[in-house]
Amino acid sequence: MSFKDSIFAKQIAKLATGTALAQLINIISLPLLTRLYTPSQFGIFAVFLASVAVLSSISTLKYENAILDEEEVQDAKHCTALTALSGIFIVAPLLFYSFLAYYFDFSLISIDWLTALFLSIAIILTNVFTALYYWCNRLQHYGFMTRGRVFAAVAVAFFSLLVGYLEIDSVNGLIVGSLFGMAVNAVYLILKLKLSFSSIRQLPLEKLYTLSIKLKRFPLFLVPSTLLDRLAAQVHIFVFSSVFGNSIAGAMGVYNRVVGLPTSLIGNAVGDVYKRRISELLKARQSCRRVFIKTGLTLFTIAAPISCVLFFFAPELFTFVLGEQWKQAGEITSFLSINFLLAFVISPLAGILYLRENQRIDLLIQIVLVVSLAIGMAIAVYENSFKIALSAYAISFGVKYLVQLLVSFKLAK
């Protein structure tokens, strides 16, 4: 193993080890939460998280990718500020709507004033955290990144469980618990990076504007492609909730949380370090293929056994660990076990699509995904068939991952 490979492996291990503790907290708390909150309540929470995921896909204008991509440190700092501040164009309308909905006592598409306020807070926290997380990645402050996740996991688990045990508005317990965790993570990074309000006031607004124009390829191509990706990834939650009920949406939400554990534990850690490493290679005009293949094989070796276990035993495991009412979530997990394998292996490798001049390709892939998924979901709604909806989701994303793999492999040279 070369020196660079050794450093690469150590960085992944550091991220994965810290994240493991955070995910251990999630693993321990999930069986408790599933006994305190019903599938219907988890369904409402899943709709809230899906809304946050869709809005946050455009709130940063994707300038966080420029934090790694920029060669000059000062420009990277300004990209960090751009990422944090870009959410204002979403937060301002949400807060205005929240005020009107509260004052005139109305709600639009089931979003009342409190939900709009929670969404505003979530976008602010997400933008700040994303900016600081990518800045830490550039500086290789992996200790900050992992410890922030641990503190956030503790905060989410503690608050959600406390509200559940006290039987205080259960749904808001899940939502506010997630917001509390976001805040803890963002504040921790702010303190560790020693940021101050005076440094924020001294930001050169004219320079930020000039830089935003220079980097227009990120909002121009990555915002629509990421929005399409998030819509495709979350549209089933909205469809399941509105057509098949909150219990189905809750089962799907728990599936996302369970399969997200190994993805967050290892896949994201590998992806974060991998993206920084290939960014360095691209800047040096060197091939990324060796790193690409080695990373892919490592991810496949880890994910394949997990996928097999989920395929054969997920319903029994979910019933035993989470309770009898979550058997349907286990059946969904078994059905989507191959998708888990593809996502775990390919999503980190597809990080190359977000760097340099590759954003157009990613946009085309996402357009095809959304069109195919929309057709499948429309058929499912027309037939009132949950099985068709789940099949459309599995096939559409399976094809998307395979296309991403082929394109990313070609770009890696």
Residue 109 lies in a domain: no
Strand (E) or helix (H) holding 102 = helix 88-104
Rounded to a whole number of angstroms, the distance between the first and last alpha carbons of the chain is 21
Asked whether the beta carbons of 255 and 322 are under 8 A apart, the reply is no
Give the per-residue pLDDT at 6: 61
pLDDT, position 59: 92
Inside any domain, residue 383:
yes
Domain span at 393:
215-413
Check residue 170 and give its pLDDT. 53
Q: What is the pLDDT of residues 351-374, one digit of tens each?
A: 777 665 566 777 788 888 888 888
pLDDT at residue 354, as a whole number: 67
pTM of the model: 0.73
Q: Is residue 49 part of a domain?
A: no
Instruction: Tell me, yes or no, whether 240 lies in a domain.
Output: yes
| CA pair distance 216, 203, nearest whole angstrom | 20
Q: Which amino acid is residue 169, in one-letter code?
A: D
Contact 51, 183 (CB under 8 A): no
Q: Which residues of the chain have pLDDT under 70?
A: 1-18, 109-110, 169-171, 196-202, 264-265, 267-269, 354-359
- Alpha-carbon span 227 to 336, nearest angstrom: 23
Q: Produce one character per residue of 327-349: b if its CB has 16 or more CB atoms within 10 Å, e if not.
A: bbbbbbbbbbbebbbbbbbbbbb
User: pLDDT value at position 410?
Assistant: 85
Identify the burial level of 205 via C-beta atoms within 10 angstroms of its C-beta, where 0-12 means exposed, 13-18 middle and 19 or more buried.
exposed
pLDDT at position 394 is: 92
| Cα 235 versus chain centre, distance | 15
The predicted structure's pLDDT at residue 215: 83
Residue 103 lies in a domain: no
Residue 115 located in a structural domain:
no
In a domain, 104, yes or no: no
**What's the domain count of the chain?**
1
Give domain status of residue 121, yes or no: no
